[in-house]
């Protein structure tokens, strides 16, 4: 059980909040690269409690600016892109991708007023078919050399999950909660096996759970089954779950909404290298009906692993009230994750880099959890995307 103050620390993501400042030390996806085109060159991005505009100017430069025009507050997402940037639709103030104001066309020609205007701008880079932004203090670090993003011997596919109308830390705690698989997901995990007792589900398959930190800035949850099989899912701190060949990225939009990207890696059969991997994108349909309502005014389908998880995450509440919980021994992973969060938030407050922040290209080790997974993981828990079809 946490105090209200501790719960706020884990869950609030806006500028100046402890978790918000921690999350701003990592590159985060802000959009699907293929969505930004000459026909649709702007889109609104809601991330970490900020409303931003992602745009591609006519020179092909991609920028991420605060959406609110500093003149009189109109959304820049309705702006016209030009050779040198984006011009506000209202009075044409023109901004480049660095946030410099280049023109204020309604002012007299000799006016230098535009030189006094600076719009908030964040660096953007493209990786695995997504645009990623860094919203923290400069200089920006590197993106960790995670095999799912950087392996060349295969192709990737992006799955955009339906918007999660809940706080980001609920799916992260779920990632450190192995016991729910054998119960919440028992029907899909059973793969046709008869389940004698649906209260216990497949719990009796498991010998033990272990949780520990790993050196690349992650946390591991490990299930050891009675038949000797071992199943490990690392969390790449703070917001990525690795499951099989899928990196599940949870990006807080604000305190009560989360965008979830899955990047799945498909290795080539013979190890052949793939050039110019342009991942296709699949948009998954809402798991609830009606799709834009909150519990108890909507109902989740319960026949898919992901919809079962979304049910669990959303019905905990827009922000789970952790002053009212009863943690037990199987919640040790959840407790570890919270301890690591509190420790790392404190480091950020002291001006230090949190775990997993990489700055030296010569010291950005290749994080390959795939080998470990493929050797140890049986067939037990391989269904999460298959069931999305
Ligand atoms: S509100 Fe943007 S230029 Fe006036
Ligand atoms: Fe789950």
User: What was the pLDDT predicted at 352?
Assistant: 98
| Share above pLDDT 70 across residues of the chain, in percent, rounded to a whole number | 95
Residue 30 reports pLDDT greater than 60? yes
Residue for token pair 């205007």: 117
Residue 386 reports pLDDT greater than 70? no
Q: How confident is the model at residue 170 (pLDDT cuts 50, 70, 90)?
A: very high
- Name which of 301, 288, 308, 304 is nearest 387 in CA terms: 304
Spacing of C-alpha 42 from chain mean position: 21
- C-alpha span between 249 and 263 (Å, rounded): 8
Q: Which range, of 75-84, 232-241, 290-299, 363-372, averages the lowest pLDDT?
A: 363-372
Q: How confident is the model at residue 385 (pLDDT cuts 50, 70, 90)?
A: very low
SS3 at position 295: coil
Task: Tell whether ligand 1 has an atom less than 6 A from the beta carbon of residue 98.
Answer: no
Residue nearest to atom 1 of ligand 1 (CA): 72
In order of their start, the domains of the chain are 32-133 (2.102.10.10), 147-388 (3.90.380)
| Share above pLDDT 90 across residues of the chain, in percent, rounded to a whole number | 85
Q: Ligand 1: which of 53, 66, 69, 85 to mutate, most ligand atoms within 8 Å of CB?
A: 69
| DSSP for residue 285 | P
Task: Tell whether ligand 1 has an atom less than 6 A from the beta carbon of residue 74.
Answer: yes
User: What was the pLDDT predicted at 363?
Assistant: 84
Q: Which range, of 100-104, 149-153, 237-241, 284-288, averages the lowest pLDDT?
A: 149-153
CB 78 within 8 A of CB 72: no
Residue 191 reports pLDDT greater than 60? yes
Task: Tell whether ligand 1 has an atom less than 6 A from the beta carbon of residue 69.
Answer: yes
User: What was the pLDDT predicted at 369?
Assistant: 66
Residue 360 reports pLDDT greater than 60? yes
Residue nearest to atom 3 of ligand 1 (CA): 91
Q: How confident is the model at residue 388 (pLDDT cuts 50, 70, 90)?
A: very low
Binning the chain into helix, strand and coil, the percentages to the nearest 5 are 25, 30, 45
Residues 6+ apart with CB under 8 A from 367: 144, 145, 146, 147, 216, 218, 236
How confident is the model over 90-96, as a mean pLDDT? 98
Distance from the alpha carbon of residue 14 to the mean position of ligand 2, in angstroms: 27
Go through 189-206 and write b for each residue having 16 or more CB atoms within 10 A of its CB, e for each that does not: beeeeeeeeeeebbeebb
Residues 6+ apart with CB under 8 A from 264: 156, 157, 158, 159, 245, 246, 385
| DSSP for residue 49 | T
Residue 63 CA: distances (Å) to CA of 41, 42, 74, 122? 11, 10, 18, 7
Within the chain, residue ranges assigned H as helices are 4-11, 18-23, 147-150, 169-175, 181-184, 186-190, 305-315, 332-349, 370-376
How large is the angle between the packed helices 332-349 and 4-11, nearest 10 degrees? 70
Q: How confident is the model at residue 365 (pLDDT cuts 50, 70, 90)?
A: confident
- Quick: pLDDT tens for 262-313: 999 998 989 899 987 789 999 999 999 999 999 999 999 999 999 999 999 9
User: What was the pLDDT predicted at 377?
Assistant: 39
User: What was the pLDDT predicted at 370?
Assistant: 54
- Do β-strands 281-283 and 257-267 pair in parallel, antiparallel, or remain unpaired? unpaired
Q: What is the pTM of this model?
A: 0.94
Task: Tell whether ligand 1 has an atom less than 6 A from the beta carbon of residue 380.
Answer: no
Give a three-class secondary structure readout of 159-206: EECCCECCCCHHHHHHHCCHHHHHHHCHHHHHCCCCCCCCCCCCHHHE
CB 344 within 8 A of CB 238: yes
């Amino acid at each position: 059980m946490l105090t209200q103050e501790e719960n706020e620390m884990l869950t609030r993501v806006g500028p100046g909040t402890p978790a918000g400042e921690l999350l701003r030390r990592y590159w985060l996806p802000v959009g699907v690269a293929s969505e930004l085109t000459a026909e649709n060159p702007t889109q609104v991005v809601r991330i970490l409690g900020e409303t931003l505009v992602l745009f591609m100017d006519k020179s092909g430069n991609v920028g991420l600016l605060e959406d609110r025009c500093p003149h009189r507050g109109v959304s820049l997402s309705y702006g016209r892109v030009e050779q040198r940037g984006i011009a506000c639709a209202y009075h044409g103030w023109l901004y480049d991708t660095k946030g410099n104001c280049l023109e204020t066309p309604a002012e007299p020609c000799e006016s230098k007023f535009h030189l006094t205007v600076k719009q908030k701008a964040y660096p953007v880079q493209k990786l695995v078919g997504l645009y990623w932004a860094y919203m923290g203090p400069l200089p920006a670090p590197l993106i960790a050399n995670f095999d799912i993003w950087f392996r060349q011997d295969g192709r990737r596919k992006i799955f955009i999950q339906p918007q999660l109308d809940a706080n980001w830390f609920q799916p992260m705690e779920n990632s450190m909660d192995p016991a729910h698989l054998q119960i919440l997901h028992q029907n899909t995990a059973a793969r046709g096996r008869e389940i004698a007792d649906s209260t216990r589900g497949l719990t009796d398959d498991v010998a033990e759970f272990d949780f520990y930190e790993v050196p690349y800035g992650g946390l591991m949850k490990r299930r050891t089954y009675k038949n000797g099989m071992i199943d490990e899912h690392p969390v790449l701190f703070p917001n990525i779950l690795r499951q099989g060949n899928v990196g599940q990225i949870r990006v807080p939009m604000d305190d009560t909404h989360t965008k979830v990207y899955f990047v799945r890696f498909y290795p080539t059969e013979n190890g052949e290298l793939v050039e110019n991997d342009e991942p296709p994108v699949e948009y998954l349909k809402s798991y609830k009906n009606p799709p834009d309502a909150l519990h108890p005014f909507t109902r989740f389908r319960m026949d898919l692993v992901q919809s079962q998880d979304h049910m669990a995450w959303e019905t905990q509440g827009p922000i789970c009230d952790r002053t009212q919980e009863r943690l037990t021994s199987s919640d040790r992973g959840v407790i570890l994750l919270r301890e690591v969060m509190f420790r790392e938030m404190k480091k950020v407050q002291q001006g230090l880099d949190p775990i997993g922040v990489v700055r030296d290209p010569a010291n950005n080790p290749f994080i390959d959890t795939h080998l470990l997974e493929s050797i140890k993981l049986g067939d037990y828990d391989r269904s999460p995307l298959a069931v999305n079809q």
